[in-house]
Chains A and B, each alone.
Chain A
Amino acid sequence: MSSILLTNILRFVGLVLLQVLILNGILLGDGWLGYINFFIYPLFLFLLPHDTPHWALILLGLLVGLTVDVFYSSYGIHAAAGTFTGFMRPIVLKWQEPKGGYTPGQSPTRYRLGMTPYLRYTSIMMILHLSWFFSMKIFIVTEIRQIILRTIVAFLVSMILIILHAVAINPKN
């Protein structure tokens, strides 16, 4: 049990550091290239154990979002997206639930779910997270095309990282 807690704490620290120290610095240029934003920290929320209470998911989403916000000086934007992702996670998991159900204490990882269901689950979650994030970032309804475009581009590049993580590390929990 404590190893799951330790895993998640390390994952939190590791993913946040990767996000703010490395991915934050990747600027490929202006214009279309500026649309390329890598998101890895939501993976922390995706991989929390199944028996994490719903309220805890929301508050952990707030926590990880705020932490990233501090480094990006974008107070509240990542936090809003993290909260939303935390709130949506049980709904998405319920929707994507396999026939055998989930085992409490385990996490929805590639190791447990298999590659295709895992990618389906993380894709849905990433789309939700990014659309909420860019809605908050652009913050104006008339720029809906910007919101959609940026979400799609960031989704494509972020999923590369998710796949790399699933292939290279492939954690059990």
Chain B
Amino acid sequence: MRNLILLLVRYHPFFLFLLVQGICISLIVNFNKDQQLIFDATSNAISGWMYDFKDSFMQYRHYPKRAEALAEDNEKLFNRLEESYFNNIILKDSSDTDGNRDYFQQYFYTAAKVVNNSVSLPDNYITLNRGTNHGVAEHSGVIGTNGLVGIVVNVTGNYSRVMSLLHAQSKVSVRLKKTRYFGSLVWPVKDPRFMSLEAIPVHVKVTPGDTIVTSGYSGIFPEGYDVGIVEKVEEESGSAFHKITVRLTEDLGKVGYVYVVNNIYRRDQKESEELEGNE
């Protein structure tokens, strides 16, 4: 500290020069049009940290708009995925009542922006700026760019409330991509990066690094969508199931744009399942 002060005192003209020169340069770029234009526009032609510094700020201003446009593009692409269609070939062969189409759109995607989020509570919810006016329905799945986000539990005209995966009650039907064995993904209310995969029998070989995808059984999420990667496999004595920790591919702490997946055949599926259950 004493040395620093001595240094400042000894070389005070130099530091004063730097300070005053800095003031002058800021005057130059703020009050002179030519220099300002050079300063703003041709930053890559100029080798100087200052230009890069300012330019990076200039670019960030356009990011929100660009992200929105990208989310809309993704929405269109998602809607055209093979998994978004309902295979109707068999139906068409037997009784061709619905025209001659082989596939019907089954999953509709709506891009939405996260306007509220939490990951630190035992029961976390996310709010999206899309509601019934935009075609969002209850029990729709919500996915991010990298993985699952949650399930819509409440919809108003312009907003929807999403039960985050990080919720004590959340339970998602998933399967191991390699062996196709399915289980349920639950959150043990600990780390927002990890969830537990339950009900995988011990005879199934699971190794860290295996990919977990959606099973499509619940009718909420389309089949085969990335959820996470096996982080750790533990065996509990006396238990018939593995104790598997899964690292989520989507970082729920920083989701910005998400897609609401509405399965229009979900009611059909649920109705048939309930009939079966009554018998």
Contact = CB atoms under 8 A, between A and B. Distances in A.
A83 interface: yes
A111 interface: no
Contacts of A59: 16, 20
B38 A139 contact: yes
Interface residues of B, number: 25
Range, interface on chain A: 20 to 34
Contacts of A141: 45-48
Interface stretch (B24-32, B71-79, B267-275): B24-32
B99 interface: no
Interface in B40-57: 42, 45-48
B32 A76 contact: yes
B14 A75 contact: no
Given A139-B39, A140-B46, A141-B45, A76 B17 contact: no
B276 interface: no
Contacts of A140: 38, 42, 45-46
- Most chain A CB neighbours (cut-off 10 Å) among B32, B34, B47: B32
Contact of B20 (A75, A83, A90, A139): A83
- Most chain A CB neighbours (cut-off 10 Å) among B27, B42, B47: B27
Contact of A58 (B17, B25, B46, B47): B17
Contact of B17 (A87, A136, A139): A87
Contacts of B38: 139-140
Contacts of A76: 23-28, 31-32
Describe B's contact surface by its main secondary structure.
Answer: helix
B28 A77 contact: yes
B16 A75 contact: no
B158 interface: no
Contacts of B26: 76
A142 B34 CA distance: 15
Interface of A: 54-55, 57-59, 62, 65, 74-77, 79-80, 83-84, 86-87, 90, 136-137, 139-142
Given A76-B27, A80-B25, A139-B34, 11 more contacts: A54-B13, A55-B13, A74-B32, A75-B28, A77-B24, A84-B21, A87-B17, A136-B24, A139-B28, A139-B39, A141-B48
12 contacts: A54-B12, A55-B12, A58-B17, A59-B16, A65-B24, A75-B32, A76-B27, A79-B24, A90-B13, A139-B35, A140-B38, A141-B48
